[in-house]
A = this chain, B = another copy of it.
Amino acid sequence: LRETFECELAAFLVASGTAANALALGAITPPWGAIFCHERAHVTADECGAPEMFTGGAKIIGIGGDRGKIDVDALHEALARFKARPSGHSKPTVLSLAQANECGAIYSVAEIAALSSLAHAEGMLVHMDGARFANAVVGLGVSPAEASWKAGVDVLSLGASKNGGLACEAVLFFRPTHACDFRLQRKRSGHTVAKGRFLGAQMSAYLDEGFWLDAARHANRQAARLAAGLALVPAARLAWQPEANLVFATIPRKLDRALRASGAEYYEWPASPPVPRIGSNEVFIRLATCFATTSEEIDRFVGIAARAATSGILRSRSERVTCGSRPAIQSAGAR
């Protein structure tokens, strides 16, 4: 990891992304701290209160923003409003950014640097939820170092599970003093596994010869292919051009049913800001591609959508999209 990130760092392996995020946040914020993040960030919306548990009750302050991204003005305003309260407020301690984020968007290096700079000026530290960090690095076309500590990130939760790993994530402290008690913090949360070599083996293979970036490049490419395909399906409206491995689209409920009947598996996504408005007969869906998604699978999915959208009728059960025993479009886990 030191080689990959070209710097001194303290690294710890755990088995889940929620653990990597919550432990990282717990290491850098006290119970009376406040963590600022996008209001749709995984750490606040999808971890069942893990950051609250691991920090001992810190407050999470959600900030709005297009496509799941915080901009400097919004952060500035949130901090100002926070400090304007006459009394009784927690202490801003952490800015947490997801990269790539929950809407499949990627912060530019300049954006990260500007946000980090504001956070540091306020005495806060910067955490990056990098469950999809590999997808962001290849999307940006920069080095891992440029996408993280060189842009001001203090602690990175680096994911492998969504990108080829079995169950492995790393918490990277770019200022190792922040990790002085991390061994104890990990142990008391039950995240020190007895046979740690099985985590180490995963991370070692993951980084070896750029496997992780190749896998992410493939996933991003398949997302682009999927988006390009759906763009030609009249009934589907792409929400955003994909920047990483996630494609979001609004589709008729009927098409949703047809796709699922064909064996496709994906999430319906809550249609509240920053998601575009949808009609009452529509659903907003999230499609995740991964290291294992084949072009054939993409094409079959798009084909079914195109035909179903056109005809309004699904041909037959033999059209069922499968690939061996796996569903054709695999949602790569929970995020």
Contacts and interface: CB of A to CB of B under 8 A. Distances in A.
A161 interface: yes
A194 B162 contact: yes
Interface stretch (A78-86, A215-223, A228-236, A249-257): A78-86
A86 B54 CA distance: 22
Contacts of A89: 45-46, 48
Given A181-B91, A192-B18, A57 B46 contact: no
Interface residues of A, number: 64
A191 interface: yes
A272 B74 CA distance: 13
A167 interface: yes
Interface stretch (A146-154, A182-190, A305-313): A182-190
A45 B21 CA distance: 24
A195 interface: yes
A189 B51 CA distance: 9
A211 interface: no
A56 interface: yes
A17 interface: yes
A106 interface: no
B194 A16 contact: yes
Interface of A: 14-23, 30-32, 34, 42, 44-50, 52-60, 81, 84-91, 161-162, 166-167, 181, 184-185, 187-195, 198, 267-270, 272, 333-334
